[in-house]
Structure 1
Amino acid sequence: MEELVGQLVGYLRGMWRFRWWGLALAWVVGIGGCIAIYMMPDKYESTARVFVDTQSILRPLMSGIAVQPNVDQQVAILSRTLINRPNVEKLITMADLDLGVRTQGQREALISELTNGLRIRGTGRDNLFTLAYADTRPDRAQRIVQSLVSLFVESGLGTKRQDTDSARRFIEDQIRNYEEKLTEAENRMKEFRLKNIGLLSENGQDHVAQISQLASQLDQARLELREAENSRDALRAQLVGEEPVLLPQTPTPSAVSIPEIDGRIDALKRNLDDMMQRYTDQHPDVIGAKRVIEQLEKQKLAEIETRRQAGPGAFGALNTNPVFQQMKLALAESEARVASLRARVGEYESRLAQARAASRLVPELEAELAQLNRDYAVHKSNYDSLVARRESANIAVEMDAQSAIAEFRLIDPPSLPSKPSAPNRLLLMPLAGLAGLLAGFALTFLISQFRPAFSDARMLREITGLPVLGTVSMLDTPERARTRMRGLAAFSGGVVAFVGATGLATFALHLIQR
């Protein structure tokens, strides 16, 4: 620490030798700075305050129905990006600043000057902005700020309309694309269903459930068939013990009655009438009953033809008995029911075989159908969402046109300044004096470094590296002391005079600007 202090004292002693040079430079720099500050042209700043009201009563009312843009963020971005070259060129035209521009260089200089001079200052909240510009002419500064206010408002509304139109066009294009995709998906599903209509689910049932239902129906039909066959066999066993009675002879074939065949035909017809009330002509029971009736009628015709060829007595050989006839009729009904149930069992067996053969293809078909349904559902969901967003955007546009979601209000119009706002000469004058003192201090330091001198024995010993045997001091005579005091007083007076002159110039400037 002692060495540092000693080195600093050495520097100060060396600078003290050239103090008059420094004081002279301080006066020169100070006077030159004061003259330059006084000669600086005045600049007049025109300002305007704009408030952007983004709080509309419709915004909470239309929440969830209309698109709610972040207007605060849009306004903040606009305030930071408004000052760009296209807008500055537009502002030059609006403020008639290009009337005196003759060359491209002058225009570029004007654009650069405006870009650097325009200011948009925000409070950070409440969307209150201050637009300012300083110029050497007050009326020109006011025109520029007025044009900037108009540009600020128009850019905000125009950007919002452009964004809305772009969003609507994009949504419309996407809706058309998804309409085409939906049409293609619907056509694929239609073609797939028509191609595999016999293998797809019916009435909400899958193929496994259909096979299970067919198997259950087949088991039920087989059970009913066994019951009918047992009933028929019982009737046959009872017919063996009945006594026959001779029928009267029938002279013509049309009047011939064969009880066992006629009874079965009558029973089948009654059963057919009952089934026609419940089923269609394509039902397997109806088809089987008609087929058995046709077979019995052919059998009857063949029997009549055989008896006619055998002679007239053959028609009188028929056995009949009231009980025997009833049992014959019951047997005929039982035979008809057995035939009908056999046809039903055969039809169910055929359907079940077809279903089981097709069941191998069902998983692939169901997977393909599920993929088609999934693609269709995705396209349908996106399409519905886009349509809803389009309607929401339309409502937002109408709401904006009716109520102006973001309203620009001019709080303070552009002012016509009467006093210059720059330069701040009252601040620059003391700074000029301080700059003169610093320049003189720096000059004395540089000269002391270029023309060094040893101020004590320690410095001589450290620099030369030689032992110093002793020092010879100068005797201070009264005349030398008086000379030194006069020089110190003169230098101090020069410094005090410099500071006083700077203060006096500042005070005089203050009186002039009042």
Structure 2
Amino acid sequence: MNSLLDEARAALFSVWHRKWIALGIAWGVCLLGWLAVAAVPNSYESKSRIFVQLDDPLAEQIGIGASDRRRDIERVRQTLTSAVNLEKVVRSTRLGDGITTPKQMETMVTDLGKAIKVKSEQDNLFEISATSTDSNLSDAESAKLAQEIVQKMIDIFREENLAGGRGEMTETLEFMNQQLADRQKQLEAAEQRRSAFEAQHPELSQGGASLIQRLEGARTELRGLDADIAAAQSALAAINGQLAGTPQSLTGPGAGGGARSALAEALGQLAALRSRGLTDNHPDVIAARNQVAQLRTLAANEGPGGGMPNPAYSSLQSIRAEKQANLQALITRRAAALADQARLTGQQVANPEASAEAQRISRDYDVLKQQYDKLLQDREQLRLRGQVENERSAVKFQVIDPPSTPRKPVAPNRPLLLMGVLVVGLGAGMAGAFAVGQLTSGFHTMGRLEKAIGLPVLGAISHTMNDVGRAVAAKRLKYFMAASAALGVVFVLLLASEFIQRGMVA
């Protein structure tokens, strides 16, 4: 422990003994360091925050979802610092002053890209910041330039989301119109081929449907008719069963003339139907005629006293006549469908090449027609979407914090650097004085002398001065203290100058 204290005292004595060397080195290092710090230009940063509103009920209704708009905004955010946009910023601000060659513009764009940052704080909140560092500009001009850069970036952000989106929509509509024109020409050519084929083979044309389609339609119709006939036959059998268990007349005197009265009423109904213009082939007329024939038979069999006809029986007969007429109509339709199917099958067998050609032409036409209709529908949807985006502005911007005017530089931290240079200068002076002391051949303590010669040291003679020597030493100490204080005064003046300069910017 004592040896360490001796070493420390020896080092302090060596530095103090050469204090003028230490002070000179400190002055030199501080002056050079402070000049270097003064040469570093100040960097001023301006920030702004933008809020993007994504909710729009009308846009949602036509398919412009919030996710689509958020994806577009993210794309714009990522491409905002592209070379093209940064070149716009350079040309619209004083950064472009003095740029005459593409190489200078490329260098300026690269430097500006490092100075601009676009951060997404939330899904719809963005922060744009820009740093201006130019040694050719004053601090006030540099701060103003940072604010102008951020404002220009906001303008580009808005332009890319509005005008850029409209431009993309216009290009998309132009592409869709071109595709529609091509499909229309192909569709017209297909129509001409089909018309020419139908003129040569009129037997294979029917409203644009192919032979295979018509044949399949006839088969489908036959299957439906068979099912309807089976249902009509079942219903008619059920009515016949009910008629078999229902008496024709009720016992007792005929209150209304019996079957003869019913016959007269049925004849009146038949006359009324014919007066309405219904022909004898009409199902209602057929049913009325059948009812009249049955009632005539009953009236002929009825005795003189007669009996009261059963209304339920008469109603069931009418229903049976109607069912029979429906069944007969279905059977007639089935026969016509069978004839049509046989005719189509005969055409297909008689001319298979023409049938195959008709099928191919019809298939090509149907495919082109479907494509054309789909493209037309998509184009109209895009046109409506473009109108909504242009007129209603589905994406709305709001500048929450306008570009700030920097009050103080963000870099460098000049007061801290000045203090650091002072500390480094003092440390360099002490280290220099200590190094010079190590190069000399003297001994500052008796312990070092003993260690060097290997013999015990009996004593040491202290240095004594007379009055003149002490006066000279005191005078030199005053000079040293004044020089040291001057170094501190220069440091304080530099700090004061820095804060005064910041006040002038604000």
TM-score, length-scaled by structure 1? 0.47
Higher-Rg member (1/2): 1
TM-score, length-scaled by structure 2? 0.47
